[in-house]
Chain A
């Protein structure tokens, strides 16, 4: 008991210190020392730099880069990295005083806060033109876009939703038929698992169990969140390394049984192009998937700060966001950019998906990963 108290105290202390640091760094980043430049001055400064380097978790940055190069004549070096890779790289480079990226598009909020924002490796920058447009909640750190992963099933036989409750996935009828991205391969998946162990979501899961089976959930683990994870994983869950592969595996036609997966909603676009049969489910209790932010931030030691700022501003415009908005499953933090015609607005998804809470993630992610490791590996 006493030990637990100490741990709790430590946790709180860590969290507080991290967030204290976070806000401090954040505020200093948000109000840069130099005078705010006019847009034309910024363009001139950026052209003088002539180049910008960006690390991004989304591969579509390449498309935006081409357009940006055309528009301003500034060369872009864009690298597409996995989220954990990006965090390690930036912390090594900035921490080691190496000039790598000028700005990054990163995800995995728990780690980004703890590993990059808290030590001051990343600084926040909100383009002046966006200050009044982007909602305050997305401004520190500046969110570039929201991304969602949703339960999607093979709709070759029928387009009617195949489950109504996530607990169904722990039943034998779905054994070996569900695919999910390896939480080790991409941090946001581990974040989702972590989030559902929170008091709020485990309560919801508890309730969903009772609603489905009409009886109380018998726990073998800490709470309903852990319990669901355990049963979900132990029901022959197939872990993939790539959302693309999972979408192909699920969507391919002519499978003997209906399969489903929890993966990026944007892969729905392959439906027509790759002749797949994919249908999302939006009414599953208590969640139909999860949603997470991708941040766009400057590095502390950016070699081309003006170009980076210009590019960030560009990415937040409708034109700059085109590579993302032309498909479903990407939602700009700029509310004036309309979502894809076939998609629903963030407000629709917000009530159906599990969001990220950086503080909770920072404190609990390691424990959940260890738990997952123990039941999977």
Chain B
């Protein structure tokens, strides 16, 4: 067959066209940034002419590499200690997340615990809420005099001054990250437990094995690969978390890689930051490869299928009521109490004084007075808040639309062409942004698109740049959702349309999409929610005209206008929760479909 014909036949298939377009554009949007990042580690940036003596902007230099990796104490403080901190914190957070998430998953899927619907709904909240939510709540509760004159609610209520190690640094970071990612572990492990054939356990029951023995000898070994894979995913998520260590670690100068990244990218030596970003990408890729290897190796284990229609729940007996009550209380504590503290903090005038006479509506509906927060009116009267809110919603909707649609197409094309080199290339490219730390990703996009780039005009400060970076960053979620949707759909379903001459777009919109509506919509929902609560990705790219709620929150927080920050945070959390619930109820889409899989 001639080459020309071969190419022609190839492009007759819509999925090949999609794959080719995706491969080219994703290479441009993910591989090029990586190259750009590599370049950024060896050139002199404008702010570095002070440290790289005698250099000009843009000169080639190995100064950054030397400083980060082999300059004695400097490298120690700059890189090795934060790296060690990152690993330590991530490991412990993982243990908490998996212990807690796995435990709740077991209780919900396998025991006769009460109030399961409430627990399973509310337990997810911390994951839907912005990641700093719990961190801020922690500070609201436990902050001591170290950072601010005004101690937190806990001290105000009990009179006990919290210790520094308890209020700031590794301990609270571990606890908060663990709680934040526990729902993630819950979703992943719960998914496996739910799909696990109950017969496997029932067979053991018939052999008169005890409950505990079944758990340890049957259930655990079967879910182990999933747990391991959850462990790795949670680990890499913890590793790239920025907001939590930034809020809780900074007061005691506890640095992890992400906070170092932020400090260096915004400081005099962005070159250091780019190297750290590279290191994080390498670690992330490594973790992912191990994960793939585990899943690949024990495939027969993880894809436990079968319809476990009637599982005989483990009887908690006497412990049923105590466990149920404790779990409900705990879930409320981590999901609802933070919101309460934001509310409280946003209603008090002078920080640290929780008496009734100190309550005020100033920060919600106040007119704005010179001496409070630089004369800003309360957030419900502040036109900038509405602008930010509008920008946030607009951005999230557009990003969700772009990421969701491209993700659905990616999922479609990759699944259709499963097994081909092109498909796995696109699959990997679409997943790659997941490994890029948000902050570094944004920094690279900033430097790539600040100038005219090929045919793309300068996007600096534009809404389009925010959309682009958001859409690419969240594509992994959307493409995974799209892929899950397509994998559950037999190829024949589409071919049945093809054979009777239904054109491609109509097959997509009238057959494929409607059938897998909830899965595909999950691919839209997750980017939407992530975008609404995103900070690290946008903080470097925002200009005043297109600021969004989260960056405003961060600014208010940096300025020390705590009440505004709390009020805005409450606003963000409520919006995200309401959107999630409404979309979930209306369409059946849910965030677990994007990550579960």
Residues of A with Cβ closer than 8 Å to B? 7, 10-11, 13-14, 59, 77, 79, 84-85, 87-88, 91-93, 95-98, 100, 110-111, 114-115, 119, 176, 184, 238-242, 244-245, 248-252, 255, 259, 270, 273-275, 362-363, 365-367, 369-370, 373-374, 376-377
Let me know if B50 and A366 touch, CB within 8 A. yes
Partner of A374, one of B74, B263, B374, B543: B74
Residues 236-270 of chain B, each 1 if its beta carbon lies under 8 Å from chain A, else 0:
00000000000000110101000000010011110
Cβ of B351 < 8 Å from any Cβ of A?
yes
CB distance from A189 to the nearest CB of B (A): 12
Interface segment out of the listed B23-31, B147-155, B397-405: B147-155
Mark B residues whose CB is within 8 Å of A.
Answer: 46-47, 49-51, 53-54, 57, 73-74, 77-78, 81, 145-150, 250-251, 253, 255, 263, 266-269, 350-352, 370-371, 374, 446, 450-451, 458, 460-461, 543-544, 558-561
Known contacts A10-B54, A249-B148, A369-B268, A244 near B450 by CB under 8 Å: no
Are B53 and A10 in touch, CB under 8 angstroms? yes
A249/B149 in contact, CB under 8 A: yes
With A91-B47, A373-B74 given, can you name 9 additional A-B contacts, CB distance below 8 Å? A10-B53, A14-B49, A84-B268, A88-B266, A92-B446, A248-B149, A273-B371, A274-B371, A377-B253
> How far is it, in angstroms, between the C-alpha of A372 and the C-alpha of B296 when the chains are bound?
48
* A95-B46 in contact given A7-B53, A184-B263 (Cβ < 8 Å): yes
- Total CB contacts across the A-B interface at under 8 A: 123
A-B contact pairs, 12 of them (CB 8 A): A77-B544, A84-B268, A85-B266, A87-B47, A115-B47, A119-B57, A238-B147, A239-B253, A244-B560, A248-B150, A255-B145, A369-B267
Closest chain-B Cβ to A74's Cβ sits at a distance in Å of 18
A259 CA to B350 CA, complexed, in Å: 19
Q: Tell whether, in the assembled complex, residue A242 and residue B559 are in contact, meaning their CB atoms are under 8 Å apart.
A: yes
Task: Chain A residues near B74: list those with CB within 8 A.
Answer: 370, 373-374
- Which residues of B have CB within 8 Å of A114? 49-50
Q: B46 near A241 (CB under 8 angstroms)?
A: no
B371 & A365 in contact (Cβ 8 Å cutoff):
no
Interface centre among A95, A250, A270 (most CB of B within 10 A): A95
Closest chain A residue, CB of each to CB of B150:
A252
Complex CA distance for A241 and B350, rounded to whole angstroms: 19
In the complex with contacts A84-B266, A252-B149, A365-B50 CB distance below 8 A: yes
Are B458 and A98 in contact, with the CB atoms below 8 A? yes
Q: Closest CB-CB distance, B61 to chain A, in whole Å?
A: 13
Closest A residue to B557 by beta carbon equals A241
Q: Is the CB of B268 within 8 A of A365?
A: yes
B50 touches A374 (CB 8 A): no
The residue of chain A having its C-beta at the shortest distance from the C-beta of B259 within the complex is: A377
Min CB distance, A330 to chain B, in Å? 15
Q: Which residues of B contact A77 (CB under 8 A)?
A: 544
For the complex of A and B, the 10 pairs showing the least CB-CB separation, nearest first, are A245-B560, A366-B51, A273-B371, A252-B149, A242-B560, A249-B149, A10-B54, A96-B451, A91-B46, A79-B544
**Complexed CA–CA distance, A93 and B543 (Å):** 12
User: Are B150 and A115 in touch, CB under 8 angstroms?
Assistant: no
Q: B50 contacts A111, CB within 8 Å?
A: yes
Residues of B within 8 A of A7 (CB): 53
Residues of B within 8 A of A377 (CB): 77-78, 81, 253, 255
Closest partner residue, chain A, to B250 (CB atom): A241
Greatest chain A CB density within 10 A among B51, B149, B350 is at: B149
